[in-house]
Amino acid sequence: METHYARAGGEQALRRLVDRFYDLMDQDPDYYGIRKLHPGDLASSREKLFMFLSGWTGGPSLYTDKFGHPRLRQRHLPFAIGEAERDQWMACMTRAMEEVGLEEGLRAELGRAFRKTADFMRNKAG
């Protein structure tokens, strides 16, 4: 079975997705709630998300090779993440996946997995 990484188009496609995600977050006021949780310069965030998604989608395990286990929930605990932040993150990623042209079935599969992970990141009520 082909990995999500391969189905998406590999490294270049994943970089386009991550770049579009952070461009949207940086430019669209609808995503201000999650933008303010990030540093002013998004370069490190872009690189870490790309590295994480590479392994998460079945490609090279760049993040774990460099940083070890992602410990996503632990790494996100310093940030107040509730339903609004989860929903903004999902809306931004969904839009990014559409705009970079990921195939509809792949978007649906990734969307379900992203939703599960984003929901797991919640650490505050509401």
Inter-residue contact 43 to 15 (CB < 8 Å): no
Query: Residue 126 — very low, low, confident or very high, per pLDDT cuts 50/70/90?
Result: confident
Where do the structural domains in the chain lie, given as residue ranges?
4-120
Determine the topology of domain 4-120 in CATH: Globin-like (1.10.490)
Give 61's DSSP letter: -
pLDDT in tens, 60-107: 999 999 999 999 999 999 999 999 999 999 999 999 999 999 999 999
| Cα 100 to Cα 96: distance, rounded to the nearest angstrom | 6
Element at 63 (helix H, strand E): helix 62-67
What is the structure's pLDDT at 1? 83
What is the average pLDDT value for the chain, to the nearest integer?
96
- Residue 111 phi/psi, 5-degree rounding, is -60, -45
- CA 101-107-108 angle, to 5 degrees, is 150
